[in-house]
Structure 1
Amino acid sequence: MGDEKGERADNPGVVAPPPLIFAGALGAGLLVNRLRPTPFLPRTLSKVLGWPPVVGGLLLGLWGFREMRRAGTNVDPYHPTTAIVEAGPYRYTRNPLYVGMALIYSGISARANALPAALLLPAVLHLVDRGVIRREERYLEGKFGDEYLRYKGRVRRWI
């Protein structure tokens, strides 16, 4: 029991699980659109434009997840980070999982032609940036010090 409490303290203290933030906002936006349809793209265009970001986001997210597993660190932000991952997509963005989720979100919004969902994305990104990423960065700076600061200096937060 003491170990579990220690593990809980060794985490960034994010406001909510990022997948829940993205899924909750997307679900709310899709529900509002279902109750009051508000298309923002020509129908054919929405069907075509939606798939590439969904597929790209899934692939990016899976790649990032795989690299975290290979490095032996936790994906769950409520558990301790044990390594800084610099391989794969982490060479280009410090947050490939969140970039992937944003791509999936935007693709589903386009595919559903749901303006309310699309309009919520900037708020979602702001919440993830402030309530998740910045907390994770402070945590990683404290835990890994100069090693993380060097990585942070080389690789952008988003893209």
Structure 2
Amino acid sequence: MDDIPDRADIKVTPPVIFSIYLAVGFLFAWASSLHALPGVLARGLGISLLLAAAAVATTAILALNRHGTPIHPRHATTAIVGEGPYRFSRNPLYLSLVAIYFGLALLLNSLWMVLLGIALAVTLQRVVILAEERYLEDKFGESYLAYKAKVSRWL
């Protein structure tokens, strides 16, 4: 009997990782007055990123739902989705999380949060995305490798 779980071997979920970085970022923003950009520019870019992230996340969730595959990374993936934002990014939900983080960093105009946003992206890639890619390669083989060759990891 095969006792290997049908899911990616992810130790910490993306929302937990995001929440940790957000809490630390808020502390740094509160403790430091180092600004990333001039105020009006930072707010405008921050709002734009938040709106773009909401649009990408919504369309990604709808695409996953249409294919009947779960959103949660600790559940079995049932299909490779290549429509909606998945045509341009293999990880549009993680891209959205990072965009939300940068949007909030810019709304708070915190240079420290911007720098932590880079670390968030690296952490998601190393802790979550690489494990998911190994799982999807094992589960879907050539069809996932073909998708992976065609579509970029982030953008």
In the TM superposition, what whole-angstrom CA distance separates every residue of 1:15-51 from its partner, at most 9, and x where no partner exists?
3111221232022111121123322222222222210
Paired amino acid for 2:33: P
1:15-54 equivalent positions in 2, closer than 5 A: 15-54=11-50
Q: How many residues align?
A: 154
Cα gap change, 1:23 to 1:65, in 2 (>3 Å): same
Please tell me whether the aligned partners of residues 49 and 102 of structure 2 are also in contact (alpha carbons under 8 angstroms).
Answer: yes
Point out the structure with the larger helix share: 1
Paired amino acid for 2:137: E
Looking at structure 2, the residues matched to 135 and 13 of structure 1 have their Cα atoms a distance apart, in angstroms, of 6
Could you list the structure 1 runs, at least 4 aligned residues long, displaced by more than 4 angstroms after superposition. none
Looking at structure 2, the residues matched to 38 and 56 of structure 1 have their Cα atoms a distance apart, in angstroms, of 25
| Residue of structure 2 equivalent to 1:123 | 119
* Overall identity of the aligned pairs, in %: 38
In the TM superposition, what whole-angstrom CA distance separates every residue of 1:25-81 from its partner, at most 9, and x where no partner exists?
022111121123322222222222210011001110111011011100011011111
Q: What are structure 2's unaligned runs of at least 5 residues?
A: none
Please tell me whether the aligned partners of residues 45 and 106 of structure 2 are also in contact (alpha carbons under 8 angstroms).
Answer: yes
1:48-87 equivalent positions in 2, closer than 5 A: 48-87=44-83
Return the match for 1:141 from 133, 137, 142: 137
TM-score, L = length of structure 2:
0.93
| Residue of structure 1 equivalent to 2:6 | 10
| Residue of structure 2 equivalent to 1:105 | 101
Looking at structure 2, the residues matched to 129 and 138 of structure 1 have their Cα atoms a distance apart, in angstroms, of 12
Question: 1:156 Cα deviation (Å)?
Answer: 0.8
Question: 1:83 Cα deviation (Å)?
Answer: 0.7
TM-score, L = length of structure 1:
0.90
Looking at structure 2, the residues matched to 146 and 45 of structure 1 have their Cα atoms a distance apart, in angstroms, of 45
Paired amino acid for 2:85: P
RMSD over equivalenced CA pairs, Å = 1.7
Question: 1:7 Cα deviation (Å)?
Answer: 9.7
Looking at structure 1, the residues matched to 13 and 4 of structure 2 have their Cα atoms a distance apart, in angstroms, of 14
Paired amino acid for 1:37: S
Q: What are structure 1's unaligned runs of at least 5 residues?
A: 1-5
Question: 1:82 Cα deviation (Å)?
Answer: 0.7
